[in-house]
Amino acid sequence: EAQVTQNPRYLITVTGKKLTVTCSQNMNHEYMSWYRQDPGLGLRQIYYSMNVEVTDKGDVPEGYKVSRKEKRNFPLILESPSPNQTSLYFCASGGLQGKRHIQYFGAGTRLSVL
């Protein structure tokens, strides 16, 4: 079954304590992306990756890091989390169907930074 898997699904942490949210896809997609969802703001893209070792900033990259060392994994790293990073995070992967790009989403990670 085609899947985008995020872990953990729920996370409570404290300000300044480094954390990593993992994302894995089994569809051999080259494209992967991270979003955060906040009430009234919709989804905003944090980082995306077009391929292994190729990453680029989205609209809200500040305070986040990513890495793409292998095709299937795209972890999101918060080096020093702050309360304004409390949010619902989604990982997505995408691939081409013909010449058209389609994106698939994980189930989400709800993060609370105290």
* Nearest distance from C-beta of residue 69 to another protein, angstroms: 20
Nearer Cβ to another protein (9/18) = 9
CA quadruple 36, 105, 77, 66: dihedral, nearest 10? -110
Nearer Cβ to another protein (37/67) = 37
Type of residue found at 50: M
Q: Interface with another protein by CB under 8 A: which residues?
A: 31, 33, 35, 40-45, 48, 50, 56, 58-59, 90, 92, 94, 100-108
Distance of CA 60 to the CA centre of its chain: 12
Q: Quick one: DSSP state of residue 73?
A: B
Nearer Cβ to another protein (35/64) = 35
Joined tokens for residue 39:
């009430």
